[in-house]
Amino acid sequence: MSTSLVRLVNPTFSKSVCRSADNLIQECIVKLKIFRRGQGCASRPKLRSEIRIMNAKTLRLMALAFGLALALSPLAFGQNSTQTANNAPTDASRARSVSSGQKMKIKGVVVKRDADTFTVRDLNGVDTVVRLTDRTSVKSSGGFLRSGTNYGQTNILRGLNLEVEGHGGSSGELEADRVRFNDSDMRTARAVESRATPLEERASASEGRLSEVEQNAQKLSGQLDELAAVSNAARGGAKAAQQTADAAVAGVNATNDRISALDDYVPQETAAVNFRVGSSVLNPDAKTKLDEIATKALNAKGYVLEVTGYADATGSTARNRALSQRRADAVIRYLVENHQIPLRRIVTPYGFGESNPVADNKTREGRTQNRRVEVKVLVNKGLTQPAPTMNPSSGSGQ
């Protein structure tokens, strides 16, 4: 009967919490029966006084048990909500697994881009994970004598319509031998993500933290088992029970803050190298700066490089855009060939032309500063934050 009463107050309580509350209420019922047996001889003044004292203690115990049920309802409700969310069915796209060594050709649109893989969804809604290797050929279709134009692997962007030919890998993915697409589709994909932040790289870094977040969630779930000792707290440790609840809430808040930070990149290092008029050749001073920032990047954890090229206002807009793109490509080539920076760590380079000047183009000194390439080392903010810890109250066992 008492367990039914507790579940009526909040049906989300665990069985252990209900048993503790049941024992407390059963004790109150026994004292009430003693009180009723003593009513027949309540004419004695001494016995009447003892009955009043027993009645007051019993009522306080019942009020404390009922108040305890109400106080624990938010924690129990939070546990139930977490279990419901974990058991809820998820809608997932169909995935294709390619047998090892099986040759295959697929056509579709890139829906996801990671460091060295991307996902292609065909017209039937089937997703295929494609892995890029050093032997993968990435070219556009058509061109002079239908030879096409060679592209770097970083030019494969989300939203690009392409064709992939390759063979099955050891993990069910398709290892690409050839990747082909139209120049018009490439221009469309670049227009969408020309200035977007590296969201796909953030998602990849976030996956590495999921196991740690799950462990923290298990620790928070384990805190609810400690609430089975609330019967002792009800007799003299109400303050310790409140401290335990505060620690659980603080742990949840710390975990939520860290999950939010996993989707945020912050610049850790920035360098700018300058060029001569109309040139995309790196001078010794520029190489020295690139050597320094490459060393810092290789020592960072979970980094990506953002490379952007610029030009001064001299000449036409089209010429300046092409020149700024060549300057950005020259910087990437130097970092890859001289410092072995993996291509998956480099965000798609972009030439802004004469846009975003840092100085006045009307002066010679200002134009010199505007002929530049900026290199930024971006680090995942969630990786730099310490993991949340659970510190149960030292007085919870009193």
Closest CA to 282 of 259, 319, 313, 307: 307
In this prediction, residue 35 carries a pLDDT of 55
Amino acid 388 reads: P
Asked whether the predicted pLDDT for residue 240 surpasses 80, the reply is: no
Which residues, including other chains, have CB under 8 Å from residue 273's CB and lie 6 or more apart?
Answer: 282, 285, 286, 289, 290, 331, 372, 373, 375
Q: Which two tokens stand for residue 146?
A: 């239908």
Q: Structural domain boundaries of the chain?
A: 1-76, 95-193, 265-381
In this prediction, residue 82 carries a pLDDT of 46
Measured between alpha carbons, how far is 308 from 375 in angstroms, rounded to an integer? 7
Asked whether the predicted pLDDT for residue 377 surpasses 70, the reply is: yes
Measured between alpha carbons, how far is 171 from 335 in angstroms, rounded to an integer? 31
Packing angle of the helix pair 45-87, 2-9 (nearest 10 deg): 50
Q: pLDDT for 115-172, tens place per residue?
A: 899 999 999 999 999 999 999 999 998 766 667 889 999 999 999 999 999 999 999 9
Asked whether the predicted pLDDT for residue 174 surpasses 90, the reply is: yes
Q: Which two tokens stand for residue 172?
A: 């069910």
Asked whether the predicted pLDDT for residue 34 surpasses 70, the reply is: no
CATH 3.40.50.2300 fits 95-193, yes or no: no
CATH 3.30.1330.60 fits 265-381, yes or no: yes
pLDDT band at residue 297 under the 50/70/90 scheme? very high
Distances (CA, A) of 256 to 88, 244, 248, 263, 388: 20, 19, 13, 12, 10
In this prediction, residue 340 carries a pLDDT of 94
Measured between alpha carbons, how far is 326 from 305 in angstroms, rounded to an integer? 17
Q: C-alpha angle 282/361/268, rounded to 5°?
A: 55
Closest CA to 289 of 377, 381, 384, 195: 377
Q: pLDDT for 305-347, tens place per residue?
A: 999 999 999 999 999 999 999 999 999 999 999 999 999 999 8
pLDDT band at residue 273 under the 50/70/90 scheme? very high
In this prediction, residue 365 carries a pLDDT of 94
Could you please report the per-residue DSSP string of 70-111? HHHHHHHHHHHHHHHHHHS-----EEE-PPTT-EEEEEEEEE
Residue-averaged pLDDT of the chain? 78
pLDDT band at residue 227 under the 50/70/90 scheme? confident
* % of the chain beyond a pLDDT of 90: 44
Q: What is the pTM of this model?
A: 0.36
Give the gyration radius of the chain's Cα atoms.
33
Measured between alpha carbons, how far is 130 from 119 in angstroms, rounded to an integer? 6
Buried b (16+ CB within 10 A) or exposed e, 34-54: ebeebeeeeeeeeeeeebeee
Q: Which two tokens stand for residue 198?
A: 């590296």
